[in-house]
C-alpha cells in the first residue's frame, strides 16, 4: 500500500511537471514545497513563530525552501516547522504557520505521515490545501480532509 501511494504521488508530480518528490527520512535543504507553479512562502517573508504560510509564485528565493526531517517539514531559513495554528491538526481550515520544531514528541501536530508527505497524521486524513482551492498569490495554506483524487489544491510535494 505504501509503495502504491508513493508511486501514485510520484506519477502525479511527474505529470504536473513538478520534478521528483523528496522521499526518505531526510532530504537536503533547498527543496520547494510546491503546488502547480506555487511555492509555500511565509507571509511577508517573515521567519517569526506564527507567520502564516501562503502560496506564492515560485521565485527561487531561499525563503521558499523547505526540507523533510523524520516526518517534519522544516523551513530552511528559519529552521521552524510547518505547524497548524493552535496545533489544530484535526480541524478543517486550520491555517498553517511557522513554529519552533519539537522533534521529541511522537504525537506532535507538526508531524506528517511518512507514507505520504502531503497527509497530516495526528488525527489522520488531513492534507495541505490552498484555502478555498485558490491558486492566487497570497492564499493561505490550510489543512482539509484529503480528497480521494488529491485535487489540484492538495497536490503539494517537496521538489528540487
In order of their start, the domains of the chain are 2-159 (2.80.10.50)
What's residue 24's pLDDT? 38
What's residue 58's pLDDT? 95
pLDDT at residue 16 is higher than 60: no
What's residue 56's pLDDT? 96
Residue 96: count other Cβ atoms within 10 Å of its Cβ: 25
Residue 34's H or E segment, with its range, is strand 31-35
Contacts of 143 (CB under 8 A, 6+ apart): 84, 88, 89, 91, 92, 93, 94, 96, 120, 126, 127, 128, 129
Residue 57: φ, ψ to 5° = -50, 135
Q: What is the mean pLDDT of the segment spanning 55-73?
A: 90
Q: Where is pLDDT greater, at 54 or 10?
A: 54
Q: Is 70:103 a contact under the CB 8 Å cutoff?
A: yes
Among 22-36, 56-70, 109-123, where is mean pLDDT lowest?
A: 109-123
Q: How many residues does the chain have?
A: 160
Distance (Å, rounded) from C-alpha 90 to C-alpha 123? 5
* Grid cell digits, residue 115: 507514507
Contacts of 58 (CB under 8 A, 6+ apart): 32, 34, 37, 38, 39, 64
End-to-end Cα distance, the chain: 25
- Rounded to two decimals, the pTM is 0.75
Q: Where is pLDDT greater, at 61 or 15?
A: 61
pLDDT at residue 51 is higher than 60: yes
Q: What percent of the chain has pLDDT over 90?
A: 33
Amino acid at each position: 500500500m505504501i509503495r502504491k501511494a508513493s508511486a501514485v504521488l510520484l506519477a502525479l508530480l511527474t505529470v504536473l511537471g513538478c520534478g521528483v518528490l523528496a522521499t526518505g527520512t531526510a532530504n537536503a535543504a533547498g527543496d520547494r514545497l510546491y503546488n502547480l507553479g506555487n511555492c509555500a512562502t511565509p507571509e511577508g517573508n517573515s521567519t517569526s513563530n506564527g507567520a502564516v504560510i501562503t502560496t506564492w509564485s515560485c521565485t527561487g528565493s531561499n525563503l521558499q525552501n523547505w526540507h523533510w526531517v523524520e516526518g517534519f517539514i522544516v523551513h530552511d531559513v528559519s529552521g521552524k516547522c510547518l505547524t497548524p495554528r493552535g496545533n489544530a491538526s484535526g480541524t478543517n481550515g486550520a491555517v498553517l504557520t511557522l513554529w519552533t520544531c519539537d522533534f521529541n514528541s511522537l504525537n506532535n501536530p507538526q508531524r506528517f505521515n511518512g507514507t505520504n508527505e502531503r497527509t497530516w497524521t495526528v488525527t489522520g486524513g488531513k492534507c495541505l490545501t490552498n484555502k478555498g482551492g485558490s491558486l492566487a498569490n497570497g492564499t493561505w495554506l490550510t489543512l482539509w480532509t484529503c480528497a480521494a483524487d488529491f485535487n489540484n489544491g492538495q497536490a503539494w510535494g517537496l521538489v528540487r
